[in-house]
Amino acid sequence: MSKPLILITNDDGYQASGIQALASAVASFAEVYVVAPDGPRSGTACAITCTTPVSISPIPPQSQASVLCPQVKWYSCSGTPVDCVKLALEQILPRRPDLLLSGINHGDNASISAHYSGTIGAVFEGCMKEIPSVGISLYLQRGQRYEDFPVGSDTLIALSRLCQRMVKEGLPKDVCLNINLPTAHIFRGWQVCRQARGLWSAEWVSATHPFGQQAFWLTGTFTDLEPEALDTDFSALRAGYCSIVPLHVDLTAHEAIDKIQRIIDKV
Distance of CA 242 to the CA centre of its chain: 14
Near a second copy by CB under 8 A: residue from 162, 185, 222, 238: 162
Choice between 19 and 114, CB closer to a second copy: 114
Question: Whole-angstrom Cα distance, residue 77 to residue 84?
Answer: 6
Instruction: Output the DSSP codes for 136-162.
Output: EEE---TT--PPP--TT-HHHHHHHHH
One residue of 169, 210, 212, 228 binding a second copy per CB under 8 A: 169
**Which span sits near a second copy by CB under 8 A: 21-29, 50-58, 65-73, 180-188?**
50-58
Closest alpha carbon to 132 in 83, 168, 103: 168
Only segment of 25-33, 93-101, 145-153, 254-262 that touches a second copy (CB under 8 A): 254-262
* Nearest CA among 245, 108, 121 for reference residue 175: 245
Q: Which is nearer to a second copy, 91 or 144 (CB)?
A: 91
User: Which of 58, 61, 204, 230 is in the footprint of a second copy by CB under 8 A?
Assistant: 204
Member of 5, 68, 158, 229 binding a second copy (CB under 8 A): 158
Rounded to the nearest angstrom, the gap between the alpha carbon of residue 18 and the centroid of all alpha carbons in its chain is 11
Query: Which range, of 15-23, 30-38, 58-66, 79-87, touches a second copy by CB under 8 A?
Result: 79-87
Nearest distance, CB of residue 68 and a second copy, angstroms? 26
Query: Which class for 5: exposed (0-12), middle (13-18), buried (19 or more C-beta within 10 A)?
Result: middle
The count of residues interacting with a second copy (CB under 8 A) is 82
Site for a second copy in 21-40 (CB under 8 A): 40
CB of 66 to a second copy, least distance (A): 21
Q: Are 178 and 165 in contact (CB under 8 A)?
A: no
**Which residue's CB is nearer to a second copy, number 71 or number 203?**
203
Q: Rule CB under 8 A: say whether 248 interacts with a second copy.
A: yes
Tell me if 78 sits within 8 A of 54, measured CB to CB: yes
Q: 159 vs 184, which CB is nearer to a second copy?
A: 159
What is the contact mask toward a second copy in residues 87 to 126, using x (rule: CB under 8 A)? x--xx--------------------x-xxx-x--x--x--
Considering the complex, what minimum distance in angstroms separates the CB of residue 30 from a second copy? 16
CA 3 vs. chain centroid, Å, equals 24
Element (H, E) at 100: strand 99-106
CA dist 149 → 31, 110, 154, 181 (Å): 21, 19, 11, 11
